[in-house]
Structure 1
Amino acid sequence: MDKLHIDYVQYHHLIDRVVRVVEDSGYQPDVILGVSRGGLFLADGLSRALRKPMAVIAASSYREGNGTSQSELQVSASIASVVPLAGKVLLVDDLADSGQTLQALCSHLQQLFPDVAQLKTAVVWVKPSSCFTPDFAAEYLESDVWIVQPFETRDFY
């Protein structure tokens, strides 16, 4: 599989693009909910730019094959947050690959948090094979490349 290597400068530009897309839409979330691990940089950037509190949920489906093969989604039992998860929530991850993680998390959050009035999603990248279309994204990829993000240097790709 082809790999797309992204450095920190490129990554921060992509985060800025997502911030602009959200701002231009007029959407005003009450809470930014970042998916650990990949969504944390984008969630932090959105939280700071929009001046909204950030919460974190852990979810993982890439554990097989040295973390390169998707398997069953595991979601943390709790959310780390200093504010209630309520009102307008922006769920943030790094990418919509198959789309299954975002789709499952949206269902999970809607079932467990009835005070969430509106749930939207934001990612840096959307792959062409994704079954889920996020509300906000920086790039829609034309091919199914493996993205090597700047903070993944310890993953030994």
Structure 2
Amino acid sequence: MSDLYVDWSGYHQKIEQLAGQIHNSGWEFDGILCLARGGLRVGDLLSRIFDRPLAILAVSSYGGAGGKTQGKIAFSEHLTATAANLGKRLLLVDDLVDSGVSLERTLQWLAGRYASQIQEVRTAVLWHKARSIVVPDYYVEFLPDNPWIHQPFEPYEQMNPARLWAKYEQLSIKV
């Protein structure tokens, strides 16, 4: 498996490309639901660009050394939203679709809890890996060789407050 390295500039460019693709499709939606943690930044920016309310659902399936081991999927009990409801047409976003299990199970979770509210859900991600069992409605880049994607926020997964503080002490910067 190869690796794909993405810096902040490239990351934001992918989100902008995704926004353009969604806009050019002509599809109108009422709200955005992002999957946390990976979809938080994508959802936040799309919410700002399209001026739509953002809801957040915490979903976890990776852990282990370096966060590279996919395990059992876990959902938060509730989602977080400021709007009274999710709307009839919902854009479900994440950073990537790897195996597709998280996206597929989230669609099932939504159907089980919000079927009476939601008429249509479309999915959007930055990266679509070939091995995924789900093909998202919108994606920026198809990855046929299923690389591990190194995103620009990953250094913080190895960070802790003591290391961060030491970094600034070493640079003689007062925090």
- In the aligned structure 1, how far is the partner of 2:94 from the partner of 2:50? 17
Q: Which residue of 2 aligns with 1:148?
A: 150
State whether residues 60 and 75 of structure 2, in contact with CA within 8 Å, keep that contact through their aligned partners in structure 1: yes
Q: Which residue of 1 aligns with 2:102?
A: 101
More displaced 10-residue stretch of structure 1: 53-62 or 1-10: 1-10
The alignment partner of 2:149 has SS state of strand
- In the aligned structure 2, how far is the partner of 1:70 from the partner of 1:21? 29
Q: Which residue of 2 aligns with 1:55?
A: 55
Count of aligned positions: 156
- In the aligned structure 2, how far is the partner of 1:64 from the partner of 1:31? 33
Structure 1 unmatched ranges of 5 or more:
none
Q: Structure 2 length normalisation: TM-score?
A: 0.86
Q: Structure 1 length normalisation: TM-score?
A: 0.95
- In the aligned structure 2, how far is the partner of 1:80 from the partner of 1:10? 28
Letter in 2 for 1:147: I
- In the aligned structure 2, how far is the partner of 1:61 from the partner of 1:10? 25
State whether residues 11 and 152 of structure 2, in contact with CA within 8 Å, keep that contact through their aligned partners in structure 1: yes
Q: Which residue of 2 aligns with 1:75?
A: 75
- In the aligned structure 2, how far is the partner of 1:143 from the partner of 1:155? 25
- In the aligned structure 2, how far is the partner of 1:10 from the partner of 1:119? 27
| Percent of residue pairs bearing the same amino acid type | 36
The alignment partner of 2:153 has SS state of helix
The CA deviation at 1:64 is: 3.0
State whether residues 2 and 145 of structure 2, in contact with CA within 8 Å, keep that contact through their aligned partners in structure 1: no
The CA deviation at 1:22 is: 0.3
Structure 2 unmatched ranges of 5 or more:
159-175
Q: Which residue of 2 aligns with 1:113?
A: 114
Letter in 1 for 2:118: V
After superposition, the CA RMSD in angstroms is 1.0
Task: Select the structure of larger CA radius of gyration.
Answer: 2
The alignment partner of 1:124 has SS state of strand
The CA deviation at 1:41 is: 1.0
The CA deviation at 1:51 is: 0.8
- In the aligned structure 2, how far is the partner of 1:96 from the partner of 1:72? 16
- In the aligned structure 2, how far is the partner of 1:2 from the partner of 1:18? 23
Which of these residues, 113, 127, 136, is aligned with residue 134 of structure 1? 136
